[in-house]
Amino acid sequence: MADQGRDLSAEELLDLHRRMLEIRDFEDEVMRLFARNLVRGSTHLCQGQEAVAVGACSALADGDTMTCTYRGHGAVIAMGAPLDRAMAEILGKADGLCLGKGGSMHLTDVGVGALGSFAVVGAHLPFACGTALTAQTLGTGSVSLCFFGDGSTNIGAFHEAMNLASVWKLGVVFVCENNLYGEYSPLASTTPVGRLADRAAAYAMEGVQVDGNDVLAMRAAVTGACGRARAGEGPTFIEALTYRHMGHSRTDPGAYRPPGELDRWKERDPITLFEARLEAEGIATRDRLDAARAAAREAVEAATARALEWPEPEPDARFRDVWAAPP
């Protein structure tokens, strides 16, 4: 454990810190905009789960791809999507990542390898197999990183995708964000398996459980899985243990959670855990970390201000870019 991150320079470690801060501030900002009725539809926020997205995506190489769920703002930002165009998409603006047609649940930025956020639970797991099959067929060596929740492991598409990926030795890295709840249901009330990593054994696949609030542990697990994928050894299932600070979506106060649970998880906040390590190892002083916090907040505020200024889509644009042009 202690050796994790030794391959990274101080600047690279601080970059992981910055990315997590930007995602946290971005999500807090989305919450405020939602309360002002500026966000259409719902939002599913990922405060508390930043280390999963940032650690995992930092292990990818150019050309690798990523798919995720409606709780995917963090993953898309971790891939390198610009904050302003991501925020503009959530606001339904013409300059949004999907020209305002996707919204919070469908953030996509193909240019950075973020191939889609999916609102239908489990729908993207077979899609991730498809991108891995493309990589295998073309011999590109690219990896297909696929994020999904604990609840998704009970849906048929999960089992089909795990089976297919294993039997065809596809380079998929399945990252299950186990945040203990699927909507309002605790995991144990829907799932007979306590340790989700054990589900991989049914598909003769390597299954590992990782502290999803430890950005370097996440990075190390995904680095190992990418190595296996690129060597043609097939997929890996990573269960990332984490917690969402907010309710399932913006209308959910999360009252079903036992008293004290949220506070206990906040004591293991991924950002403060990483800051403690950066300080303990002499990578950054408290002042430097505070400056990074202020800089991230300013970056998100500036991106939000730009996104708010940008125009609404023209009514005529609503049927454009919906279907691909025939070849």
Ligand X SMILES: Cc1ncc(C[n+]2csc(CCOP(=O)(O)OP(=O)(O)O)c2C)c(N)n1
Interacting residues with ligand X (CB under 6 A): 69, 71, 119-121, 148-152, 177, 179, 181-183, 248
Q: Which does 183 bind (CB under 5 to 8 A by kind): Mg ion, ligand X, none?
A: ligand X
CB of 184 to ligand X, least distance (A): 9
Q: Which does 71 bind (CB under 5 to 8 A by kind): ligand X, Mg ion, none?
A: ligand X
Q: Which is nearer to Mg ion, 109 or 150 (CB)?
A: 150
Q: Which does 92 bind (CB under 5 to 8 A by kind): Mg ion, ligand X, none?
A: none
Nearest-5° Cα angle at 208, 204 to 210:
165
Binding-site member from 74, 149, 212, 235 for Mg ion (CB under 5 A): 149
Quick check: 242 binds Mg ion (CB under 5 A)? no
CB of 182 to ligand X, least distance (A): 3
Q: Which is nearer to ligand X, 71 or 250 (CB)?
A: 71
Binding-site member from 22, 150, 206, 211 for Mg ion (CB under 5 A): 150
Residues 6+ apart with CB under 8 A from 232: 169, 171
CB of 303 to Mg ion, least distance (A): 28
**What's the half-sphere exposure (Cβ side, CA atoms, 13 Å) at 59?**
28
Q: Which does 55 bind (CB under 5 to 8 A by kind): ligand X, Mg ion, none?
A: none
CB of 220 to Mg ion, least distance (A): 23
Contacts of Mg ion in 77-96 (CB under 5 A): none
Q: Which is nearer to ligand X, 28 or 183 (CB)?
A: 183
Contacts of Mg ion in 172-201 (CB under 5 A): 179, 182
Q: Which does 119 bind (CB under 5 to 8 A by kind): ligand X, Mg ion, none?
A: ligand X
Q: Which is nearer to ligand X, 88 or 148 (CB)?
A: 148
Q: Which is nearer to ligand X, 71 or 277 (CB)?
A: 71
The structure tokens 């303990």 sit at 280
Residues that bind Mg ion (CB under 5 A): 149-151, 179, 182
